[in-house]
Amino acid sequence: MLHNLLIILFILVSGGKPTSDKSWQLVKDKDGILVYTSDSESSALKSIKVSAVLDGTPEKLWAVVQDVSKQQDWVYATKSSKLLKKTSASELLYYVETEVPWPASNRDIAIRMKMTENKANQSLTINTVGLPKAMPVNNGKVRVPNLAARWEVKSVGRNKIRVDYFLDLDPGGAIPAWISNLFVTKGPYETFANLRELLKK
């Protein structure tokens, strides 16, 4: 719901990092994309984990993820996204607005993304954290108060990568249960399905 009310509600943990040592429950298994949920310590919204083996390399995935201006093409419910500042080749700050169905309001947040690469074992980790005070609040939108996500990417064969994505998020404000459910199961699956197609190009 990933880096959005996915990467947000799908491209979030109250200033900390989402962890893999939770008790995960499988809620969707389709086309090799596994979506899990777990109770969150920082939000009423479930924590999310998505796992899949995809075509591509860690470097190619990083190229897709860091191209934040195109997130609306593949990240579920992204209405707009833009680069605010590129600190280095491995770190940037960007803004994203997530479209949320009526009667709820759209969410937005500035997000810091940092990539750490381990060339020895052909892997990389991408950590993202929401910075709710980095930009003025926009009228008509609800600022996401807490967001943290992590990508763990490892080469597992020729042009094959295993991707594990973890998301912990407090979307802020009130969201009806039926909307939350969209972002917990539909959003992560569709984002990864779109990502898989991008990595094949």
The DSSP bridge partners found for residue 117 are: 124
Which domains does the chain carry?
A: 6-200 (3.30.530.20)
| Per-residue model confidence as pLDDT tens digits over 30-67 | 999 999 998 866 656 778 999 999 999 999 999 999 99
Q: Is 77 left (phi over 0), alpha (psi -120 to 50) or beta?
A: left
Q: Which of 11-15, 24-28, 86-90 has the lowest mean pLDDT?
A: 11-15
The whole-chain average pLDDT of the chain stands at 86
pLDDT on residue 42: 61
State the pLDDT at residue 103: 83
Dihedral sign, Cα of residue 115, residue 118, residue 121, residue 127: negative
Residue showing tokens 């003025």: 136
Taking 70 as the threshold, does the pLDDT of residue 181 lie above it? no
Place of tokens 């990467």: 7
C-alpha span between 8 and 41 (Å, rounded): 17
**Residue 10 above 70 pLDDT?**
no
Closest by CA to 173, choosing from 132, 127, 201, 112, is: 132
